[in-house]
Amino acid sequence: MKNRPLQKDLFFSKTGEYLNHYLPNQVHKSPKTIKTYRDALTVFRRYLLEKRGISIKDFRFEDCTHELLLDYLAFLLESGHKPTSCNNRMAAVKSYLWYAADDDISIQGIALAASRVKRIREPKINRPIIKEDAFNALLTAPPPTKLGIRDRTIMILLYDTAIRVSELIDLNVASVNLKASPPYIHVHGKGDKERIVVMTDRTAGHLNKYNGLYHSGEYATHDMPLFYTVIRGHMGRMSPGNVERIINKYAAKIRPEHPDLSEHVHPHMFRRTRATNLYQDGVDLELVSRILGHSSTITTRIYATPSVEMMRRAMESKADGSQTEEKLWSDDEEELAKICGLR
């Protein structure tokens, strides 16, 4: 019995023509490149079936949403794929969608939404965090003077809330609510996005002490910068460079006792250290992502370095499991994959 072609609104209805005719004959892709695209679309097909329970004969173009593709990227990362591999597999899906959109105008909006899925940034080889003993020394390094109290408050707030240095210096007096339970700050983040970030009572206590010194009298207005500098009588918002110099002043002071501390300690290390500590303490990655103000957990995974204890628990749980393999796809599904030019 001859198999009938898939309905035109089904996502994989055009993959056979795309892989076997369009890529080699119209855009003259090499056999190696075509194999890469075929493998990428096959991995996507298997993700749909294994993780979402969606068959080739049920998945439509309209089901290929921006949110689904973000989840697919997260799945690839969790499966151990490197960022480059994830980006290449996503590029194949995007390319196929634009091919399909050229033939059917109703798919153009879907292809456009897919094109807005951002590439995963390659994490730098070395993304150091501040070790606990060095971090504690850093926070206790400022003297009990007015400037020292300001400097300690800045470092504590950077770590506790995990905000970016740009978000820190954009805070106004009105951005802080110390009377709420729990106390919080109102942050204006990247992409003009706003979010509420709670803080610990300990941090709120430091901020309250700081406000008493720096926001009384003429400096008590709500629209004033929370952290500012006064140069020759002129008050201005503190700059990222100011914050960086403050941190490195104390880093230099404690480095003789903590030689492993990075040569240059930048404000983002406070954010990275906090995110890593939260993750390793068992806080769900989705919640860590919300605290950091990320639009998805994909970016947050850069900070998600498992601790030795986490890896030990994972290994122990795997050791108790059964190693029997089950067939994931029915014969019918495999046959449909072959019809679509996939594996």
Start-end of H helices in the chain: 15-17, 31-52, 66-78, 83-103, 108-115, 132-140, 146-161, 165-170, 201-214, 240-254, 268-280, 285-292, 297-300, 308-319, 331-339
Write down the pLDDT at residue 291. Answer: 80
Instruction: Give the rounded distance of the alpha carbon of 96 from its chain centre.
Output: 26
What is the dihedral sign for C-alpha 93, 77, 284, 47?
Answer: positive
Could you read off the pLDDT tens digit of each residue along the chain, which spans 343 residues?
444 455 778 999 999 999 999 999 998 888 988 999 999 999 999 999 999 999 998 999 999 999 999 999 999 998 888 888 999 999 999 999 999 999 899 999 999 999 999 888 766 555 688 999 999 999 999 999 999 999 999 999 999 999 999 999 999 999 999 999 999 999 987 777 888 999 999 999 999 999 999 998 766 778 899 999 988 888 899 999 999 999 999 999 999 899 889 889 999 999 989 888 888 888 887 888 888 887 666 666 666 655 545 555 554 554 444 443 343 334 466 766 776 767 6
Write down the pLDDT at residue 327. Answer: 39
Q: How far apart (Å, rounded) are the C-alpha atoms in residues 156 and 180?
A: 19
**Domain boundaries defined on the chain:** 11-123+331-339, 132-301
Maximum pairwise Cα distance, the chain: 89
Write down the pLDDT at residue 284. Answer: 82
Q: Which helix (H) or strand (E) holds 200?
A: none
SS3 (DSSP) at 292: helix
Write down the pLDDT at residue 298. Answer: 62
Write down the pLDDT at residue 330. Answer: 44
Fold of 132-301: hpI Integrase; Chain A (1.10.443)
What does pTM read for this prediction? 0.56
How far, in Å, are 32, 104, 123, 211, 281 from residue 307 at the CA level?
39, 49, 18, 37, 9
SS3 (DSSP) at 283: coil
Q: How far apart (Å, rounded) are the C-alpha atoms in residues 261 and 24?
A: 54
The conformation of residue 182, written as its DSSP 8-state character, comes to S
Q: How far apart (Å, rounded) are the C-alpha atoms in residues 153 and 299?
A: 28
CB atoms within 10 A of CB 228: 16
Write down the pLDDT at residue 134. Answer: 93
